Every structure is written in C-alpha cells, then in structure tokens.
Amino acid sequence: MENNTGNGQNNYQTTPCHEVDYDRALPIVLGQIFTYGDLFTKLSFLIMGFSNIIRGQIIKGFIFLLTEVMFFYFLLMEKGGTYHLDRLISLGTTPASQADGPFGKITPNDDSRKCLLYGIGTVIIIFAFLALWAESLKSGYEAQYFVAKGKRPNSFYRDIQIYFDKKIYRTLLFLPIVGISIFTITPIIFMICIGFTNYNAKHNGYTKLVDWIGFDMFGKVLHMGKDPDGTVNMFSHTFWSVLGWTLIWAVATTFLCYIFGMILAMVINRKGIKFKKFWRTLFITSVAVPQFVSLLIMRSFLSEFGLLNSFLRNFGLNPPDWLGDSTLAKVVVIVVNLWVGIPYTMLITTGILMNIPAELYEAAKVDGANAVTTFFKITLPYMIFVTTPYLIQQFIGNINNFNVIYLLTGGGPNMDTSKYQAGDTDLLVTWLYKLTTDSKDFNLASVIGMLIFILSATFSLITYRSSGSYKNEEEFQ
C-alpha cells in the first residue's frame, strides 16, 4: 500500500484502506465505515459531509450538507415528504365537496391519483437521497484515509475532472437515468400500484376516493373452483379461457407464419426460379399497406354480408358467417394473420438461407443426401439456431397482438354467457383494453397487465436460456 501512492489519482483507484472492501454489499461497507471511521467520519452519518469539511474538501462537504438540509426541509415542510407519504398510505381523506347553497362552488380536495403519484415520487426521492447518503459516507471515509496517509484529499476541481475521465459513464448515464425514472419507472410503479387499489368506474379518485384493497383483484382473477351457487366464477373463467385461447393463438400464429414463411423463402430461393427479386417484391407488397387498413378491409370482406359471402351466394352456395361463429372466427383470424405475417418471415429467412455456406450442401450431395435429408440436417438446424431469439420475440409479440384481433373481430363473436367483458377471440391484451375503455375496471386491468408481463417474462427467460443460440454462441461460426 505504502509504495503505491505515487499520485492522488492512483490512490483514489486502489482500495483506499485494507479495512474497507468497496466491492462488498452496501450495508456491509457502511458498517465497515462506521467501525473503522474516526469521530468525524462517524459524525458524517448524521451530518453529511462533516468529514469532508473537516479535511479540507469544503465545497464537496457543503454540497453534501446542503443536500441533507434540503432533503429534511422537503420532508418536513408543509405539504412536503411526510405529508405525501401519509397520503400515499391513506390515498386521500377528504373528497371534493360542494359549498352550501344552490350555486355553491365545488372545492377540489384530495385526489387519490395525485396522492399515489406524489407518494411514489417521494419514495423515489427518499431512495435517491439514501444512495447519495451512502456515497457521501464513502467520500468522507476516503477523505479520512487520505489525511491518515499524509495526502491532500482531492480538490473539488479534481473531483469534477474525475467525472469527465474515470467516471465518465456516470456523467453520460445521468440524464438518461433521470429520464427513464420519470417517464418509465414511475408510470410503471404507478400502474402496478393501481392493481392493489379499487380505482375503477365507481371510484374516480377525487369525488369518490380510492382505497388500497391488497390482493383482492388477484384473488378474483386467479380464483379456482365454482361460485357458492354452483355456477362458474365469471372473472376467473374469463381469465383462464382467454389465457387458453391467447396461448393457442400465439403458438399457432408464430409457428405457422414461421413454417410457411420459410417454405416460401426456400421456394423462391431455389436454383432455376426466375425473377427472384420480382417474387420477393410481390409478396412483400402486403406489408406496404398499413396493417390497420388491410385488416379493416378484411373485416368488411369477411363479414356476414360482405364481399366474399355475396360472391359465394352468387354461386348458389350458403356460406358461413366467417367472423360470427366462435370456432370458425378463431380459425379465420389465424389464417388472416398468416397473410399479414408470412412476408416478414420470408424476408428474414431469405437472408439467412443465402448465408448458409454452399459447401455444406455440396458435401451433403456428394454423400448422397436427398433434398429432405439436407433440409432436416442442414437447413432447419441452421435456421432454428439463428432464429430462436426471433421466434421468442414473435411469440411474445403474438401474445400481445392487439391489432389483428381488435381490428378484425373486435374480440367477437360473443357467445360465452359466462365471460366478463370479453368475446370469444379476445386475447388478454384486447380484454385488458376493453376493461380500461368500456367498463373502466382499471384495477382489474392492471392485474391482467401484470399477469401478462409475468407470463411473457417467464416464458422468454426459460426458452431463451435453453436455446442453442444462448448456450453455444460460437458453434456456427
């Protein structure tokens, strides 16, 4: 240690003192700092930056101290942190009320949604402060260490320089992290919290306040067994049957699109096929039309008295109601989705097919393998190896494939008398949409959203980690 103190920067980089191991978890580090710190460092636990000030890092120390003062001022000021934490727990106590008299004005009062939002904001601020507090303790201990070693602690200017040199990653990531916390993390926490409240059509949050209800909604959705009167439980029945159809849909669309797209690409890719570029362009044109346009056209084309059926009737046939019969509608949406999805798979597989080394095929030919064998021994393994992550992403995308279902059938037909706000072709995500826009069951919708996330995350993690592309990354190089 002694001979490693050539300049300040090196000192800063090495573990400043063998007593404290900065690589270890934070509470342990803090505990060590408390154990080995001198009186000033220990006082820094209460008065942030005290150790820095004493040891000459005046500006840094005062910035820490000022932050602490501001934080406690924020906590204790009128309508400050403690007020918001209190309201995060109660979600408001007084709803807006009208003044007496016929033309009395309404005084806006607590708004549960704001209570929740500001409460979450306060919690985030508290965590941010705790992180800064831990940082200040480390810095205070470092200062103690430098002084103990007879060195001058870093000047403020030097500290700033470090943020443009060794610690530039922090400087670069600062704004993105602030942005993500405000625009992504906070809304997500907010949405998750709604699942544990009774925020719905009957509680708008300002004239009818919202309360915490815990796991009630999860209980309703995941309920097993029948209702006391012997009939099915509507909410869980809806969830399980919609989930079942969502999985069937996701598997069917993902794999059928994949298989047909691959066959199409291979056919076009065959030697001896002329105008390859023309065929590829032809098939890709269906992508050029915005999806919602082509889907809405499909909808009116397939409707009971639509073009297709009047065409069929002209031949004296008695055509079915394509989108009006439960089973048929399910088949039809899968088929229509093929038409939308195959061109994409074709594009991707074309690229991969052209990349398979031709020597592999030549070698196989020499060994006397026929087309089927080469497909199953060379093409398919290669394809699957390269496209597994794509398949996973497609599968998750199909679980959440809002457009096709919503624009084509709107979730209908609605033939199941025990489903709550869901039709026979509704996916979890379109059901969620109906819950938020039609029946305004925001809390139920939030729970469905969480379950979709858990489902997608678990599935992707398991399949991705057991895929060849993850385990043997180098194999095909």
Partner 1 sequence: MTKGKKVLAITLATTMAFSCLTACGSKKGGNNEAKPTPTAIIEDLVKVDPELGITAPDEVENNADAQKVSLKVWAPAEEQDLMEKLCTTFDKAHAEYDIDFTYEVSSEADAANNLTNDPQSAADVFMFAGDQLSNLADGNLLFDLSALIPDNPEIEEKYDDQAYNSCLIDGKLLAFPFTANQFFMYYNKSMLTEEEVKSLDDILAKDLGTAPSGEKVKNFGFDLANGWYILAFMYGNGCTLYGDGTQEKECNWNNEDGKAVVKYLNNMIATGKFFSNANDDGLPLLEKGELATVVTGSWNSNAVKAKLGDNYAACVLPTFKIDGKECHMKPFADFKMIGVNAFAGEPRPAAELAYFLADNYSQWQRLQIRSYAPTVKILQDYVTDDTKEKPEPIDPAVIAATEQMSAENSSLRPTTPQLKNYWSFGQNLGSLIYKQDERITDESKMQDTLDLIVKGITTVL
Contacts with partner 1 by CB under 8 A lie at 96, 98, 102-106, 108, 164, 168, 171-173, 175-176, 178-179, 183, 200-202, 204, 206-208, 220, 231, 234-235, 300, 303-305, 321, 324-325, 412-423, 438-441, 444
Of the pair 178, 380, the CB lying nearest partner 1 is at: 178
Q: Is residue 226 classed as helix, strand or coil in its secondary structure? A: coil
SS3 for 322?
coil
Q: Which two tokens stand for residue 75?
A: 């906590």
Nearer to partner 1, 179 or 214 (CB): 179
b (16+ CB within 10 A) / e for 135-165:
ebbbbbbbbbbbbeeeeebbeeeebeebeee
Beta carbon of residue 191, minimum distance to partner 1 (angstroms, whole number): 16
CA distance 384 to 386: 5
> Which C-beta is closer to partner 1: that of 333 or that of 422?
422
Nearer to partner 1, 414 or 460 (CB): 414
Whether 120 contacts 189, CB under 8 Å: yes
CB of 97 to partner 1, least distance (A): 9
At which residue do the structure tokens 């006391």 appear? 228
Q: DSSP readout, 94-134? A: ---EEPSSTTPPEEP---HHHHHHHHHHHHHHHHHHHHHHH
CB environment 361-392: b (16+ within 10 A), e (fewer)? eeebeeeebeeeebeeebbeebbeebbbebbb
Strand partners, 98: 106
Nearest C-alpha neighbor of 409 from the set 245, 263, 272: 245
Least Å distance between CB 284 and partner 1?
Answer: 31
Tell me how far, at minimum, the Cβ of 95 lies from partner 1, in Å: 8
- Numbers of helices and strands, H then E, in the chain: 23, 2
The least distance separating partner 1 from the CB of residue 17, rounded to whole angstroms, comes to 29
Q: Which of 344, 429, 347, 349 is nearest to 384 (CA)?
A: 349
**Residue 321, φ and ψ in degrees, nearest 5:** -90, 95
**Smaller CB distance to partner 1: residue 165 or 362?**
165
**Based on CB atoms, which residue is closest to partner 1, 159 or 416?**
416
In whole angstroms, the minimum distance from the beta carbon of 301 to partner 1 comes to 13
Name which of 335, 321, 337, 340 is nearest 412 in CA terms.
321
What's the token pair of residue 55?
Answer: 């040891």
CA distance 313 to 305: 10
Q: Which is nearer to partner 1, 321 or 334 (CB)?
A: 321
Q: How far is the CB of 41 from partner 1 (least distance, A)?
A: 33
Nearer to partner 1, 172 or 289 (CB): 172
d(CA 28, CA 320) in angstroms, rounded, equals 71
Shortest reach from residue 350's CB to partner 1, in Å? 34
User: Least distance from C-beta 2 to partner 1, angstroms?
Assistant: 31
Rank residues 349 and 421 by Cβ distance to partner 1 and give the closer one.
Answer: 421
Q: Tell me if 445 sits within 8 A of 432, measured CB to CB.
A: yes
- Beta-carbon contacts of 360 under 8 Å, excluding residues fewer than 6 positions away, are 378
**Minimal distance, residue 201 CB to partner 1, in Å:** 6
Question: Based on CB atoms, which residue is closest to partner 1, 157 or 274?
Answer: 157
Query: Which is closer to partner 1, CB of 18 or CB of 79?
Result: 79
In the complex, the smallest distance separating the C-beta of residue 183 from partner 1, rounded to whole angstroms, is 6
350: tokens are 């074309």
